[in-house]
Structure 1
Amino acid sequence: MAVADETRTIFVTGLKNAHAMENQALSIMKPQVSRIENYPEVATRLEAHIRETEGQIQRLEAILSGLSESNSALKDMALSMGGSMAAISHSMAGDEIVKNSLANFAFENYEIAAYKSLLTIAELGNFPAATAGLKANLDEEVAMADWLDHNLRSLTMKFASLKEAGAPAKI
């Protein structure tokens, strides 16, 4: 296999993995947002990021289609199931909102790394048509990670305050 073919294979595999990763993100965020009661600012931001993630999936599908490829249904299903299990496990925690925020921050940074890698492969493999969509996805992930980073302190303080007051602080 020629070097250009190897680079294309790496790129397509990365795109399929990113598509599955974004489906996993949806399977994590949707249950979270449906359970939030005392943190409307978190629910609002998660709802917005769910819409962004749906757009990211569409961008990835367009990039794959432009390469005459499609997503991997098996990868999508496997990672979605994993995301659902993670969401279920957090729902049993007394500090669910805090655990979700920590996990979301970690996942956003994973997504950022994935898109930076994909952009590098797009450059190496000379796939300029993919750059704008990947950069848009990266920018949205960076914005979400920044939001989580800037709101973790106030969310944790609100959680502790509600717990101290005897109010339901879990979600």
Structure 2
Amino acid sequence: MTALPQLKPPAISDNTAGELVVSWEQYHRLIEHLALQLHQAAADFDQIVALSRGGLRVGDLLSRLFDRPLVVMAASSYSGDGDRIQGQLKLGHQLAHTCDQLGPRLLLVDDLVDSGTTLVEASAWLNTEVRPSQLLTGVLWLKGGSSFQPDFWAMHLPENPWIVQPFERWELLHPGELEPMS
């Protein structure tokens, strides 16, 4: 009897509108859910390219789980009060890594895909500059208004809520407001 191939677990769907507040436990479980999808789909990649800042934690944990080198690509598009205003996308023109060479199979990760612009532009840059034979994409959250659909996502958000991630509290603090350890 031949074994049936394992199917990847489906993305979770959440119909939250307004704000979706995410705890550290929920955040880490979503990364694990994404990792399980990649594993069960037998996704094969040589390096993980994490878009900074949002994709850094995702990329770091996936790099550890899959024992693959982490590559960092700088990207910035949010600014303003609490970094809630999406503006002009700025992509870095170099990748930070310690690999002898990149590819040929890459996994590009970010925390979320909102409009889709960042993943479209980052994918285009990688395809032009690095020329991988395979470029997979993965995110924790896929918003319903996105023009880009990644290959893997942990949670679908059809109502496009603002996601309050657990590390965002530091964006509102000044170092002088921190309490020393006792």
Q: TM-score, normalised by structure 1?
A: 0.29
**Greater helix share, structure number:** 1
TM-score (norm 2): 0.28
Q: Greater Rg, structure 1 or structure 2?
A: 1
- Relative contact order (alpha carbons < 8 A, sep ≥ 6): 1 or 2 greater? 1
